[in-house]
A and B are shown apart, each in its own frame.
Chain A
């Protein structure tokens, strides 16, 4: 019976539909809205675990497909499907959403019902992005996502929230509209928006180059890559905790996912030819942005820059893989690079989500994010300090945490492509350790200078649940990443096979 359910549609629409009663509950019944949202996200998480039962790990193609005609005259279909890569990201989304709702339980007080409804809509749309097999459908989810996020940052954000949210919206929109033009162009080449068909349509080198840069613009803004990253620190700093967590843990991953779903299969030759551009941008991100993170005085800004540096590893892994397949026909290393990029995405989802949650915990108590206002937190909040140190270690890529696995794989792959690239990338592990540990030193350890810090109370059960869940995930995948790599192995091997073939 379970096998016949339209599981993917359910995952997408359940949270979106549930947003209506949550909205209707109103501020007067805020608790109803909270519980309803929590139950919905838990139900969606449980459903998404069902994906694991239904997916065939050896099959690299899209599975659990649903296909219905959407717009007949344009041959646009409501076509959904998942492979291991999508499933991993969907699970990340549903898992994080539960924790975001829990995290916002008391810290959001104004217009709770609207906040919760926006979060639910956001969750549904993000799952939709990872399921869409039709380019137009993908674009609709991809852009639709901006609306709830725009409101979340703008309504519940910090003092400069309006500037930040407008910048976020217009930046992202700017990136993606050229992708739309590119997709329409592809539509005339292939006669369809179906992604599988688009991956097979023949394109000249010139066409591929244009399309590649259109896609690059869209996804580079989303990831975000240097030099189009400037919206992220603003958005992160001003967003409420939940918004930051979703932004860092999931939305950034959509950029990386886009490279894997669009750039690589549709424009393999251009991706190969211009891989050096992306690799260079990634290296700048990991090195330069790492240094920028070092001088930040705002905790959220520091973590935001650290996110950019870590996402640099993702794009590095993806495009190093290209160089490896074509130039050196070293397919094993290419798979390693892609695997590393994907593991890094998932791991960064957990780690950055956890780091922002930690900052949220502190912010809820002192209402400041400035590093200088803290110090000696360990003396009054030992449990919190334990978690924070653990996540910081994961952020620096300490072996045993999930942060290590992905970065190590990417560096290994990069080394087989070009030792210098690997050396530069590995060098940043040191900078990463520097800014993260220095942050911990200044916030957690040392003496208490600020009398307000002395009065802090340790985390309550709800916060412990949120941080504990993140910690479990970080440690689990750090010690035993096999389930994750096994999930994504078949589609990545298939993708590498595709990359070898030229389309021009």
Chain B
């Protein structure tokens, strides 16, 4: 029985669906020279959706459609940051897309639909909604990766992403079907009740394994990370910036919904799997990143290692662990988007700025941007007083609190190894002479420049004053 309350709770998603469709239509009538209309409209849509999430009729929270759609604090935080990330991606992407004849409405519409999928995913209250949200997000992502149709690299990445993604979705679906078979329900709250009871069927455990595999794939956690480096490198950088930021928040939301809201009673079973994934991700991500010469690929491996840290928080299996993991996901999204934003800004027609060597001597050519990039790199490496340090700190704290001291020590060791490749980027910018005399003037696009400065300086500001954000993350988990 649908009532008004259900509809109101769905206000941001409904609005975004309609608005994205309208944008698709509007874009048909916009001349290529006026494509900026689409651009600004897309940002306005995201802002309006954010407003609805925060102050809309359903902002107070609740459960809609018989538990299928849950609006709680976790969902609100994740939604806001997803919308913020996508908006920032739009700002960074415009000059890049324009230089490459990719400045098309599809990019915006697909990103909006991806964001919509994320919104559903983080609010999911049943297995069906998890799957629907996820597929909406990933199908949009497949298409986005292939946005540059003429590039063989992009096409290869898209095919690879699609095939492996389909396989992972199949795994997830298979796991879900087993969970359904064991619990006779798709509702996560009712699954939670069954899983928490003492005599849960063996079949349920079997399903958990497949669900964890599906989650690991979406995160890009080792050993299910194969798609990640190729997709990051092969996609147009504007798309990489999208894939590298918002979907990580979505993956956290999905893991939280499935593992805690649904299978919370089996924490003793899945947290060991997550611990293994975390250690493997930390090891493979950090070690493989050392050998990279392409910055996008390096950031892909760095993502894998960051996912390892994030899983460390999740596998603590406590509210403190979840809030730490969410804090980590937010901080990672902000850092990743700044790093890709820098690549986007330095790129120009015929020059991708995606090799590490392209950043040589940046301090001599564009000292302000070298400074910003070094902030991002030190933050990714986790050096205080930057934001990235505190997210590592709270995750380590959660892990130690959950008696996973050895995992924390392992993570710390890999953080040292990881330090090297971030420092290498700083090294080429500050210590090396420029490779050639080409001017490395950061793109003339003023909004992108300003937003990037704010984004990178925010890493410093949040490093000095991270209390409120951390408290917010704790509050939504009842801490």
Contacts and interface: CB of A to CB of B under 8 A. Distances in A.
Contacts of A465: none
Interface residues of B, number: 33
Contact of A71 (B405, B427, B466): B466
Contacts of A288: none
Interface in B357-394: 363, 367, 378, 383-385, 389, 393-394
Interface residues of A, number: 35
A188 B367 CA distance: 43
B415 interface: yes
Nearest to A156: B431
B400 A140 contact: no
Interface stretch (A144-152, A256-264, A467-475): A144-152
A181 B427 contact: no
Contacts of A111: 363
B164 interface: no
Interface stretch (B43-51, B192-200, B467-475): B467-475
Interface in A404-459: none
B456 to A, nearest CB: 15
B167 interface: no
A165 B426 CA distance: 12
B408 A71 contact: no
A144 B470 contact: no
B384 A178 contact: no
B405 A146 contact: no
Contacts of A174: 416
A184 B416 contact: no
A188 B416 contact: no
A154 B431 contact: yes
A144 B384 contact: yes
B396 interface: yes
Contact of B412 (A165, A166, A178): A178
Contacts of A69: 467
A169 B419 contact: yes
Interface in B381-425: 383-385, 389, 393-394, 396-397, 400-401, 405, 408-409, 412-413, 415-416, 419-420, 423
Contacts of B419: 169-170, 173
A126 to B, nearest CB: 14
A381 B378 CA distance: 45
Given A162-B427, A166-B423, A181 B416 contact: no
B98 to A, nearest CB: 32
Contact of A184 (B393, B467, B479): B393
B384 A154 contact: no
Contacts, number: 85
A146 B381 CA distance: 13
Given A144-B383, A147-B378, A184 B420 contact: no
B301 interface: no
A475 B412 CA distance: 45
B420 A166 contact: yes
Contacts of A146: 383
Contact of A177 (B363, B385, B400, B416): B416
Contacts of B431: 154-155, 161-162, 165
A452 B474 CA distance: 68
Contacts of A155: 363, 430-431
Contacts of A71: 466-467, 470-471
B427 A154 contact: yes
A187 interface: yes
A140 B474 CA distance: 22
Contact of B471 (A72, A144, A169, A188): A72
Contact of A151 (B413, B430, B466): B430
A350 to B, nearest CB: 30
List 4 A-B pairs, minimum CB-CB distance, nearest first: A140-B384, A71-B467, A177-B412, A154-B431
Interface of A: 69-74, 111, 114, 136, 139-140, 143-144, 146-147, 150-151, 154-155, 161-162, 165-166, 169-170, 173-174, 177-178, 180-181, 184-185, 187-188
Given A69-B467, A136-B393, A181-B408, 10 more contacts: A114-B363, A143-B389, A144-B383, A162-B431, A165-B431, A169-B419, A177-B413, A185-B400, A188-B400, A188-B401
Interface of B: 363, 367, 378, 383-385, 389, 393-394, 396-397, 400-401, 405, 408-409, 412-413, 415-416, 419-420, 423, 426-427, 430-431, 466-467, 470-471, 474, 479
